[in-house]
Chains A and B, each alone.
Chain A
Amino acid sequence: MSGTPWSTFSVGDEVANETIYLTRESLVRYAGASGDFNPIHYRDDVAQSVGLDGVLAHGMLTMGLAIAPVTSWLAGKAMVTSYQVRFTKPVYVPVTGSAGVTVSVTLHSLGEAPEESATLALRVTNDEGATVLGKAIAVVSTL
């Protein structure tokens, strides 16, 4: 076979790196697409009334966009069979401008059958370099 997407990488190598910029429009779009209309994701007054600094991205939006570079990297040759994160820090999104979320994906380990599966570690950070998704791990397997 022509090899898995990870066959040309070594454990510890970065396989994908992308910065995604979130605006208020991104949050409205995700609210509509997901059905999560919690007002803390579009109203500053409501966010502040529950002790937040302001409007923040849906955690599931951050989780969702962080795995997109993995899907692209797999290029239809493998699928994500498990994906988990811990929500460690809110991603605040300003009224104007944007909030950057940087996703760095590294090859964490190979499966028992390296031709079949591998584990990826995702480092997901905000504009200040702080981790917003902890324990972010995806297991990928060939189709």
Chain B
Amino acid sequence: MSVNPDLVNLVFEPTPSYVVGREKVREFARAVMAFDPLHHDVSYARNLGFADVVAPPTFPVVIQEATLHQLLAHPEATIDFSRVVHGDQKFDYQRLVVAGDELVGQLTVTKVQSLGGHSMVTSETAMSTLEGELVVTAVSTLVVRAGEDAA
């Protein structure tokens, strides 16, 4: 089943806020083998002018993920989760995310395309502080593979 094209411009409710924890930053950094002291050493990060340890560039996916779940669960979306493949991913940063940030994510569907039975859904998740400061935008294209059993 192809993805409902009427989803374009759909804006979801902002997610509950996510508090970026210092140990979560360190755990995520170890998981992506990012051993730069910027992610681990508080005094190193502070000497560079940051409030606390700095999250690795792909850390915001943790918040984006929550917004993608909203999209996949949307009753009108008709997206078969078992056929979803991640196609493209992009982050644009206004500033670096640091431990202590409290962020909300809000997803907008920007494009729905069909290509030879496959559907592609592009969405943009804006992550902002509770005061409304935009920190990072994540753009993701999910490919929903054609609805026949994979080889």
Binding site for B on A (CB under 8 A): 20, 26, 29-30, 32-36, 50-52, 59-61, 63-65, 67-68, 71-72, 76, 79-87, 135, 138, 143
Contact = CB atoms under 8 A, between A and B. Distances in A.
For chain B, the bracket of interface size reads 35 or more
A34 B56 contact: no
A76 to B, nearest CB: 5
A29 B49 contact: no
B131 interface: no
Contact of B89 (A34, A63, A72, A80): A63
29 contacts: A26-B33, A29-B31, A32-B31, A33-B28, A33-B32, A35-B65, A51-B150, A60-B58, A60-B86, A60-B89, A61-B32, A63-B58, A64-B31, A64-B56, A65-B33, A67-B34, A67-B58, A71-B34, A71-B36, A71-B38, A83-B57, A83-B58, A83-B90, A84-B90, A84-B139, A86-B88, A87-B88, A138-B57, A143-B48
Interface stretch (B6-14, B91-99, B103-111, B121-129): B91-99
Contacts of B49: 143
Interface of B: 24, 27-28, 30-36, 38-39, 44, 48-49, 56-58, 61-62, 65, 82, 85-93, 95-96, 139, 149-151
Nearest to A139: B92
Contact of A67 (B56, B62, B139): B56
B133 to A, nearest CB: 16
Contacts, number: 104
Contact of A33 (B27, B48, B86, B93): B27
A35 B84 CA distance: 17
B89 A68 contact: no
Given A60-B86, A86-B87, A65 B61 contact: no
Nearest to A71: B36
Nearest to B24: A33
Contact of B36 (A20, A63, A68): A68
B92 A72 contact: no
CB-based closest 10 A-B pairs: A51-B150, A64-B32, A33-B31, A84-B90, A68-B34, A64-B58, A30-B31, A33-B28, A59-B86, A76-B48
A52 B48 CA distance: 44
A29 B34 CA distance: 13
